[in-house]
Amino acid sequence: MIAVAATVGLILGLSAITVPGDKLTISVVLYILIPIAIS
């Protein structure tokens, strides 16, 4: 989970896009945890 957030942050960092940590956490929950929970 932490690795996924770090990877997303790294990708966004390489894209020169600044994303607040809370928004990053929310997006990780929405796009990863919820689909896993549903499946």
**pLDDT tens-digit readout, 1-39:** 667 777 777 776 665 555 576 777 788 777 888 888 888
Predicted confidence at residue 15, as pLDDT, reads 59
Among 11, 5, 12, smallest CA distance to 27 is for: 5
Tokens read off for 5: 């957030």
What's the predicted TM-score (pTM) here?
0.38
Q: What is the structure's pLDDT at 12?
A: 65
Report pLDDT for 38. Answer: 86
Cβ–Cβ < 8 Å for 9, 19? yes
For residue range 16-26, list pLDDT tens digits in order.
555 576 777 78
